[in-house]
Amino acid sequence: MSSPRRTATITAVGKYLPEKVVTNAELEESLDTTDEWIRSRTGIHQRHMVSNGETTSDMTVAAIRNLMEKYPLDVDKIDCIIVGTVTPDMLFPSTAAIVQQKLGASNAWGFDLSAACSGFLFGLDTGTRFIESGRYEKVLVVGADAMSAVIDPSDRSTAILFGDGAGVVLLEPCEDGSEGIMDSLLRIDGSGGDYLYMIGGGSRQPATAESVAKGDHFLRQDGRAVYKAAVKGMADISAAIAQRNGLKAENIRLFIPHQANQRIIDASAERLGLAAEQVLSNVAMYANTTAGTIPLGICDAVEDKLLQPGDNVLLAAFGAGFTWGGIYIKWGHTV
Ligand code: ACO
């Protein structure tokens, strides 16, 4: 008889949202926009924003401390810290290294993972393989972004869409394979790079006085092209991972999609045939926190007691790259 497959399961979650809240009405004061336009096109009502020098590593550490308030985690036992982010504190050293030091996690290694809005999903799959291999016992997977650091506050087409926040999950082994991350389907397609990017500050265009004057250190996007690709990409991959795991709408307890725009969420949910109560949506309150949205959604679902052991949960994301993916979880015993 073959021995059971060791899986990785989420045993604890944590989150952090900066104290400062910016409503649509406040954006009306500085941008040619309206609360009504933002709500009807995106579903967003408000977003949180870092202030007073707060960084992505600060938000990450606060989310991990929130997890540790609920779950006994000895920092010396953390094996690996994976931080999905496109707004690291600095290009290097990694945000993971800064977080390691702030936590005092003396036996950990780790790294940043750049996959934009799919950063948490790619990190979750990577952390899962680390646990499944038997090499590691405790892996923190973070999705954290301070999007306000890369948004042009005078560009109404992007400034309304994003917010700042961080979420984290702790992955540990489930030796009998009865719960945890069951399947993943992840993709990248670099031809999407023309539609959503930040050109300045890398090796292609190091920062200069001219590049800063042109605003090349800000995110740029073709909103319509991204919207079209996101609707199709997220709906297709959600349907594909559900189908290959034999999951029909009635077997899915909760769909936790990336939170960019309520219309993208609705299109994916409709494709899966899900009712509103099977779909987590918090885009109204947090806006698009890029890598943060899915772990924040998981954390909200746990706090609201929406999940029981044995529930089928689907995650799905789409973002810059293009990057996209879906993950199927058999829910476990999570705090
Ligand atoms: N307030 C008022 N008017 C605006 C605003 C604003 N904030 N922004 C754009 N407009 C105007 C445009 O200038 C345009 O005017 P025009 O017709 O006179 O040229 C008009 O509104 C319509 O613009 P569209 O871009 O066609 O508006 P659309 O309905 O496509 O909505 C949006 C724009 C919300 C950005 C949408 O395209 C979208 O959500 N795209 C996805 C982008 C996204 O989510 N990116 C995040 C990262 S990737 C991800 O997470 C999936």
- Do residue 147 and residue 226 come from a single domain? no
Question: Which among 160, 178, 196 is the end of a domain?
Answer: 178
| Diameter over CA atoms, the chain | 68
Ligand 1 centroid – CA 27 distance (Å): 15
- Angle between helix 262-272 and 223-244 (nearest 10): 30
Ligand 1 centroid – CA 99 distance (Å): 35
Q: Give me the catalytic one of 24, 66, 80, 117.
A: 117
Question: Which among 119, 143, 178 is the end of a domain?
Answer: 178
> Residue 316 is part of a domain; what is its CATH number?
3.40.47.10
- Do residue 150 and residue 197 come from a single domain? no
> How far is the C-alpha of 335 from the C-alpha of 324, rounded, in Å?
27
Q: Report which ligand 1 atom has the smallest distance to the Cα of 258.
A: 50
Position 25: which residue type?
A
Q: Give me the catalytic one of 24, 261, 288, 312.
A: 288
Tell me the CB-side half-sphere exposure of residue 38, using CA atoms within 13 A.
Answer: 27
Which protein residues touch ligand 1 with a CB less than 6 Å away?
33, 37, 41-42, 117, 156-157, 160-161, 196, 221, 223-224, 226-227, 230, 258, 260-261, 288, 318-319
Rg (CA), the chain: 19
- Locate 253 and state its tokens: 């307890």
Query: In total, how many domains does the chain have?
Result: 2
Position 7: which residue type?
T
Rounded to 5 degrees, φ, ψ at 292 are: -75, -20
- Do residue 279 and residue 298 come from a single domain? yes
Ligand 1 centroid – CA 152 distance (Å): 15
What integer pLDDT is reported at residue 209 of this predicted model?
Answer: 95
- Locate 295 and state its tokens: 């772990």
- Do residue 266 and residue 166 come from a single domain? no
80 flagged as catalytic: no
Read off the pTM: 0.97
Q: Give me the catalytic one of 48, 258, 261, 299.
A: 258
> How far is the C-alpha of 221 from the C-alpha of 206, rounded, in Å?
20
Which residue has a Cα nearest atom 5 of ligand 1? 157
DSSP for residue 24: H
- Do residue 88 and residue 236 come from a single domain? no
> How far is the C-alpha of 133 from the C-alpha of 250, rounded, in Å?
33
- Do residue 34 and residue 46 come from a single domain? yes
What integer pLDDT is reported at residue 1 of this predicted model?
Answer: 58
Ligand 1 centroid – CA 28 distance (Å): 15
From residue 38, give the alpha-carbon distance in Å to each of 149, 153, 157, 264, 319. Answer: 21, 15, 10, 14, 20
288 flagged as catalytic: yes
> How far is the C-alpha of 198 from the C-alpha of 150, rounded, in Å?
8
Residue whose entry in the numeric block shows the structure tokens 């999609």: 257
117 flagged as catalytic: yes
Pocket test for ligand 1, best of 224, 228, 236 (most atoms within 8 A of CB): 224
Which residue has a Cα nearest atom 1 of ligand 1? 33
Ligand 1 centroid – CA 207 distance (Å): 28
168: β partners: 14, 142
Pocket test for ligand 1, best of 87, 226, 259 (most atoms within 8 A of CB): 226
- Do residue 20 and residue 160 come from a single domain? yes
Give the residue from 330, 327, 224, 235 showing the smallest Cα distance to 274: 235
Question: Which among 132, 160, 178 is the end of a domain?
Answer: 178
- Rounded-to-10 torsion of CA 77, 81, 139, 142: 130
- Do residue 99 and residue 189 come from a single domain? no
Q: Report which ligand 1 atom has the smallest distance to the Cα of 42.
A: 34
Residue 2 covered by a domain:
no
Query: Over the range 10-48, which residues count as b (16 or more CB within 10 Å of their CB) and which as e?
Result: bbbbbbbbbeeebebeebbeebebebeebeebbbbbbbb
Residue 144 covered by a domain:
yes
- Angle between helix 95-103 and 56-70 (nearest 10): 50
> How far is the C-alpha of 252 from the C-alpha of 185, rounded, in Å?
17
Position 222: which residue type?
D
Which residue has a Cα nearest atom 49 of ligand 1? 319
Rounded to 5 degrees, φ, ψ at 128 are: -60, -45
> How far is the C-alpha of 121 from the C-alpha of 274, rounded, in Å?
21
- Do residue 123 and residue 194 come from a single domain? no
Ligand 1 centroid – CA 223 distance (Å): 5
List the pLDDT tens digit at each of the 335 positions of the chain: 567 799 999 999 999 999 999 999 999 999 999 999 999 999 999 999 999 999 999 999 999 999 999 999 999 999 999 999 999 999 999 999 999 999 999 999 999 999 999 999 999 999 999 999 999 999 999 999 999 999 999 999 999 999 999 999 999 999 999 999 999 999 999 999 999 999 999 999 999 999 999 999 999 999 999 999 999 999 999 999 999 999 999 999 999 999 999 999 999 999 999 999 999 999 999 999 999 999 999 999 999 999 999 999 999 999 999 999 999 999 999 88
What integer pLDDT is reported at residue 4 of this predicted model?
Answer: 78
Residue 1 covered by a domain:
no
> How far is the C-alpha of 326 from the C-alpha of 121, rounded, in Å?
7
Strands 80-84 and 139-146: parallel
Q: Report whether 73 contacts 138 (CB < 8 A).
A: yes
Residue span of the structural domain in which 60 resides: 7-178
